[in-house]
Structure 1
Amino acid sequence: MEYVLLLVGFVLLIKGADFFVEGSSSLARILRIPSVIIGLTIVAMGTSAPEASVSINAALAGSNDIAISNVVGSNIFNGLVVVGVCAVLAAFQTNKDILKRDMPLNICVSAILCLMFLDGKLSRTEGILLLAGMVLYLCFMIRSALKNREPGADIQTLSLPVSLLYIVGGLAAVIFGGDLVVDKACIIARSWGVSQNFIGLTIIAVGTSLPELVTSIVATRKGDSSLALGNAIGSNLFNILFILGMSSVISPLHVLDESVIDCLLLTVSAVILYLFARSKKKMTRLEGAICILLYISYTAYLLIR
């Protein structure tokens, strides 16, 4: 029964995020916001709603290992698998704004998180600093969106009331699903005799990152690589700045030595992704395949650790 309820939790997370993204994207089109801004903010936050729900619920329940490992594992998956799969499906040009601004910021934020982890905890003060960084980033993105509003186009969108209903209903499903996933994953971890850290880095991290993967693949298939790459990078920034920031403000988080290593590997993966994206200002199929192989190697490392 625990496995069935875990699956139900994942379904609620994924479908809830799907409705949230559709409603948010429709609202963004009504407001005439460029797609790269949509990807970095609204869609990124929507697809990261499962991670937010899981980690915040874990922090409330005192499951610190899951709160941290879910975010770190999801970010590694986003950078290597989500972007890698999109590049394998169709090589794409790198958006110049993401390359100059958001990808270097992603590396810096990941490195700062590593430094915060070194003392073995993520305190409330550090959580507040992360949240302040999220506020500054959002303010900058909102300002950029207002400066670059696109002229009205004949694009079919949901009506404003339906968009708001999708947003509210999607978030409700994500919150309830996240609670189910944390509760049942902890029970299953204990029954298997494996650590919550391992479960968070693998099953939960991949499960909560499925919305990013699906959304980015769909965007790539439609030729909107700006939204696909922006979704992955924006989600990673949101995961660290907001989710870990909020989780540690709710309850200071104990950091395992293993989590420090995982965070260091996250920073290295962010650097590799940036170098690939910067070379010839595009992501090739070969580079995408290398990213996927790196993630498979990381998973193998977790199994033998």
Structure 2
Amino acid sequence: MSVYIFLVIGFIFLIKGADFFVDGASNIARLLRVPSIIIGLTIVSLGTSSPEATVSIVAALEDSAEVSLGNVIGSNIFNLTLVVGTAAIIFPLKVETETVRKEIPFTLLASVALLVVMSDVTLEGLNDNFITRSDGLIFLLFLYIFMSYVIEVALKNRKNTEADAMAVDVTWGKNILVTIFGLTGIIIGGELVVSNATEIAYRWGMSETLTGLTIVSIGTSLPELVTSVTAALKKESEIALGNIVGSNIFNILFVLGVSSAITPLAVNGKVFTDVYLMLLITVVLLIFSRTNFRVGKREGLILIAFYIAYMVYIILRN
């Protein structure tokens, strides 16, 4: 019974932490005279990706590669479908031009890079598929390129948002504390949810791969869900979408980069189908984003239907 109690406590930490975190991060964006989309792509996405990073790195250290890889792939699919879909239904998501032209395509590029590095049997004729240490270092180099781009965009747009910063009555100290407090709540809540949900899943007799793709990935993605939904409710649509795009990039390049740099990750053949689906959904989101530069309620319903169908498929497949 205690695992269920701690699961509920984890949800409470996640919800309240996300509320504080979005408030603090959006105010810091104004103080820095940086567009909200940049904060969503960096601070918010890195913060909400911390549960994935923790779980995947621990899984790699414990030689549970299927949990590590399944966690990232499952989390990204969850983010692209259920999180974006739910946030879009609450409040239509405005899509910045740069997001359509560069950020979402970069997410697609990272996904293609993942497919390439895990295809050792097909591309090199080896007996098994692995994400090696050198592959992990390549991912981290890709992350450096992405972060350099984000910083360049932030500096370029800094002056354009100076008036917005002056119009908001906010202080540095208060918002730094609020942001740190919110991030701490998100991390603690994510850890409580993941550890206890995983324990419940194992008690139900689920396989390691299915656990990684479902319970663990959903648990580690709850910060993204709660943060994006909270941002949508506050009509901070740039943070809502930027959080997802940034989180998916961090999940592949940072989480898998660090995990595979620690120890090579063996690839279960079943997850290729999941990676193909992740690529397809990324393309679908890109197409949706180009329609009047917004993701509305109709597109949100379609994305949620995608996730429901995917859940049914992997449960039956297992």
**Under TM normalisation by the shorter chain, which class is it?**
0.7 to 0.9
2:296 aligned to 272, 284, 287, which one? Answer: 284
Q: Partner residue of 2:124? A: none
Asked if the contact 1:60–1:251 (Cα under 8 Å) also holds between the matched residues in 2, the reply is: yes
Give the TM-score, by structure 2 length: 0.85
Asked if the contact 2:18–2:186 (Cα under 8 Å) also holds between the matched residues in 1, the reply is: yes
2:253 aligned to 221, 229, 241, which one? Answer: 241
Stretch moving more, 88-97 or 5-14:
5-14
List aligned pairs for 1:1-305, cutoff 5 A.
Answer: 1-8=2-9, 12=13, 22-119=23-120, 120-149=129-158, 150-151=161-162, 152-157=165-170, 159-166=171-178, 184=196, 187-305=199-317
Asked if the contact 1:57–1:182 (Cα under 8 Å) also holds between the matched residues in 2, the reply is: no
Structure 2 residue identity aligned to 1:72: I
Q: Distance in 2 between matches of 1:223 and 1:175?
A: 24
Asked if the contact 2:18–2:226 (Cα under 8 Å) also holds between the matched residues in 1, the reply is: no
Q: What's the CA shift for 1:181? A: 5.5
Secondary structure at 2:291 match in 1: helix
Q: What's the CA shift for 1:30? A: 2.4
Q: Distance in 1 between matches of 2:209 and 2:296?
A: 33
Q: What's the CA shift for 1:295? A: 0.7
Stretch moving more, 87-96 or 112-121:
87-96
Asked if the contact 1:40–1:235 (Cα under 8 Å) also holds between the matched residues in 2, the reply is: yes
Q: Alpha-carbon deviations, 1:180-238, whole Å to 9, x = none? A: 55655554444322112212211222222222222222322333322221111111111
Q: What's the CA shift for 1:24? A: 4.2
Structure 2: gaps (5+ residues): 121-128
Q: What's the CA shift for 1:13? A: 5.6
Change (3 A) 1:11 1:242: farther
Q: What's the CA shift for 1:293? A: 0.5
Q: Distance in 1 between matches of 2:130 and 2:20?
A: 35
Structure 2 residue identity aligned to 1:129: I
Stretch moving more, 242-251 or 56-65:
56-65
Q: Alpha-carbon deviations, 1:121-147, whole Å to 9, x = none? A: 111111111111111111111111111
Q: Alpha-carbon deviations, 1:137-159, whole Å to 9, x = none? A: 111111111111121323243x4
Q: Distance in 2 between matches of 1:60 and 1:10?
A: 27
Q: Distance in 2 between matches of 1:219 and 1:19?
A: 11
Stretch moving more, 75-84 or 219-228:
219-228
Q: What's the CA shift for 1:32? A: 1.8
Secondary structure at 2:166 match in 1: coil
How many residues align? The count is: 304
Identity %: 44
Asked if the contact 1:121–1:253 (Cα under 8 Å) also holds between the matched residues in 2, the reply is: yes
Q: Distance in 2 between matches of 1:57 and 1:8?
A: 22
Structure 1 residue identity aligned to 2:247: S
Q: What's the CA shift for 1:248? A: 1.1
Structure 1 residue identity aligned to 2:231: A
Q: Distance in 2 between matches of 1:108 and 1:172?
A: 31
Give the TM-score, by structure 1 length: 0.88
Stretch moving more, 8-17 or 69-78:
8-17
Q: Distance in 1 between matches of 2:169 and 2:70?
A: 39
Structure 2 residue identity aligned to 1:233: V
Change (3 A) 1:13 1:284: closer
Q: What's the CA shift for 1:277? A: 1.4
Q: Distance in 2 between matches of 1:228 and 1:279?
A: 18
Asked if the contact 1:186–1:196 (Cα under 8 Å) also holds between the matched residues in 2, the reply is: no
Q: Alpha-carbon deviations, 1:99-141, whole Å to 9, x = none? A: 0011111111111111222232111111111111111111111
